Amino acid sequence: MRKQTSPLGVKGSLAKTSLTRRQFLKRASVAGAALAMPCIIPGSALGLNGAVPPSERIVFGGIGIGGRGTGVLRWMLPERDIQFVAVCDAKKSAREAVKKVADNHYGNQDCKTYRDIREFLALRTDIDAVLIATGDRWHALASILAMRAGKDVYSEKPSSMTIAEGQAVVATAKRYGRVYQTGTQRLSEENFVFCIEMARQGRLGKVHTTYAHIAPWDAAEMKHDWLPAEPEPPKDEVDWDQWLGPCPWRPYNQAYARGGWRGYYDFHTSCIGEWGAHTFAQAQAGIDCLNTSATEYHYVNNPTGDEMVTVFPNGVKMILSRGDKWWRGSCGMRFDGPEGWVAAADGYSRPDVSSPKLLADFRKIVADYMARTQRPMSHVRDFFDCVKSRRQPVANPVVMHRSMSTVHAANICMWLKRDMKYDPVKEEFVGDVEANRLRSRAMREPWII
């Protein structure tokens, strides 16, 4: 075999190459000129003109980004210190839609797409954090897989399907040292923060009752059947196995993939979980019960859980309300004390109060909260700040799990149609074997925790 040498030969001799002396000198002069030319580096790469240098950016990706997820992504993209680089979704149409949003924002074609979450997490070791906005069935498992892969997580709500899933999210975040924020964004909005602080600070007297909005559609008792089978599309169009994830195998029906999964036990957390995932956390924040769950659940004989009374360890009642008797708008909450009440919901310019004088310190109360906690009035900004500082976000895994445990226990109360007591320390129902079985669900292999 002929021995290969460098172009200059073993000793660098021109005589042992095919280059003439004239050619060599010409090439050397061109190379020297190129080195002498100034390098034009974009200011964004150096952190000039307000841009964040690449070394300080959070490399970001998405998992299961549909309509709600796209809304959250558009909220995140203007943050200057993030770079959204990839999306993973079982549906091709969703992957391509998110890629278009990202590419249009950055003016390039760099956003990569993936169908399989395992491939996505294994290959994209450059990604620091992910937005998870799948349907309810995937939130906890996707969060756990992402955290095991070294990613921080912003997960849309409801962030668990069962009490056991919530426990697993808490344990995984702790074991792997990950930052996790659940998408209960009203914990970072000034009207809601004001109401929570008014309750916490005793400005209403000792709060005795709080009210939490549950969704005015579907029911607590969900459907246990499934839609008729339709021909499965090609796997690249909709990967049905991935779409189902940990749920029981069900035949493909396009209505599911288009959002028609709500109201089915296999996929949903009921009307209670739909908005209770927001409002229970809001209510529990105002009565200093973010580290626990309600201990008593009183069954109401209706399909929805409307007017169910729950009781927390400190004796405060939380009443579930489906209508708008206590507020105007969606995801409302209210706190009642002997010296007045405050309430807020989406769309308010200022909270509703029992007396105008309760609003006198609105700006001061919000400002004092921000100074004390060092948190912004932006849920996504709080998350990104915590990714950098490594402190716990406002809606951390424990906040998610404890408020969602209240959701799940309220659902179980409605399903079994009886009052029950829950021990938030042991995280089990007191003397109720049937209820305790419902703290978890079987997960379909290989989609298991």
Each as own residue / partner, the long-range contacts of residues 54-59 (CB below 8 Å, 24 or more positions apart, any chain) are: 54/83, 56/81, 57/81, 57/82, 57/83, 58/82, 58/83, 58/128, 58/129, 58/384, 58/387, 58/388, 59/83, 59/85, 59/126, 59/127, 59/128, 59/129
**Domains of the chain by start residue, with CATH:** 52-185 (3.40.50.720), 186-221+268-437 (3.30.360.10)
299 close to 419: Cβ distance less than 8 angstroms? yes
56 close to 47: Cβ distance less than 8 angstroms? yes
- Please, which residues bridge with residue 102 across strands? none
Q: What is the pLDDT of residue 17?
A: 39
Residue 256 is given by DSSP the state: I
Using alpha carbons, select from 253, 252, 250, 242 the residue that is nearest to residue 266: 250
Q: What is the pLDDT of residue 50?
A: 64
Q: What is the pLDDT of residue 54?
A: 85
Tell me the C-alpha distance between 39 and 57, whole Å.
23
Confidence at 27, pLDDT banded by 50, 70, 90: low
231 close to 252: Cβ distance less than 8 angstroms? yes
10 Å CB burial of residue 103 (0-12, 13-18, 19+) is middle
- 109 SS3 class: coil
CB proximity list for 83: less than 8 A, separation 6 or greater: 54, 57, 58, 59, 60, 106
- Please, which residues bridge with residue 334 across strands? 211, 343
**370-398 tens-digit pLDDT:** 999 999 999 999 999 999 999 999 999 99
The predicted model scores a pTM of 0.89
β pairing state of 58-63 and 82-88: parallel
**292-349 tens-digit pLDDT:** 999 999 999 999 999 999 999 999 999 999 998 999 999 999 999 999 999 999 999 9
**405-415 tens-digit pLDDT:** 999 999 999 99
178 close to 152: Cβ distance less than 8 angstroms? yes
Gyration radius from the chain CA atoms:
27
Would you say residue 15 has pLDDT above 90? no
Tell me the C-alpha distance between 300 and 267, whole Å.
24
Spatial strand order in the sheet of 129-132: 112-114, 82-88, 58-63, 129-132, 152-155, 180-182
Q: What is the pLDDT of residue 328?
A: 93
Tell me the C-alpha distance between 234 and 226, whole Å.
21
Supply φ then ψ for residue 67, to 5 degrees: -65, -55
- 420 SS3 class: strand
Tell me the C-alpha distance between 223 and 241, whole Å.
21
Confidence at 3, pLDDT banded by 50, 70, 90: very low
> Would you state the structure tokens that stand for residue 98, as one six-digit string?
């998110």
Tell me the C-alpha distance between 77 and 98, whole Å.
12
Using alpha carbons, select from 422, 413, 401 the residue that is nearest to residue 304: 413
β pairing state of 152-155 and 296-298: unpaired
Tell me the C-alpha distance between 144 and 437, whole Å.
22
* Mean pLDDT, residues 240-247 taken together: 98
